[in-house]
Amino acid sequence: MFDFEKLEVYQLAKNQNMKVYQYQSDAAKMEPELLDRWKKASLNIVLNLAEGTGRMLGNEKKQYYILSRSSVFECVALLDFCLQMNWIDKAKYDEFYDIYEQLSKMLLAMYRNVQ
């Protein structure tokens, strides 16, 4: 097992990514470009986290954690747009939003704890 697979934040990000993909397969009324952007941002959370965990130098780790957290912010902005366009209901929005908020906090803690 790789180190990143043991992280709670990785498991949470991976599960959130799967929920995004599953939700979007049923979201026919959303713009295809927006769906694609959200999928990419969601996957980038997971991939940057995994890559950053594999880096040996603290500054490199921090850079990937920043990129991962930035992708969380991008997802939240896209999610907000979807809510404003009535492409997602409030309950589903809240479900996604809460996990993104948790991921953001966890990634920030990881960034701050890098030696």
Residue ranges covered by each domain of the chain: 35-115
Q: What is the pTM of this model?
A: 0.92
Average pLDDT of the chain? 94
Q: Which residues neighbour 102 within 8 Å (Cβ) at sequence distance 6 or greater?
A: 12
Q: What confidence tier does 28 reach under pLDDT thresholds 50, 70, 90? A: low
**What architecture (CATH level 2) is domain 35-115?**
Up-down Bundle (1.20)
**Backbone angle region of 3, left / alpha / beta, with phi > 0 → left and psi within -120 to 50 → alpha:** alpha
pLDDT at 24 over 90: no
- HSE at residue 62, side-chain half, CA atoms within 13 A, is 8
pLDDT at 115 over 90: no
The whole-angstrom separation of Cα 34 and Cα 32 is 5
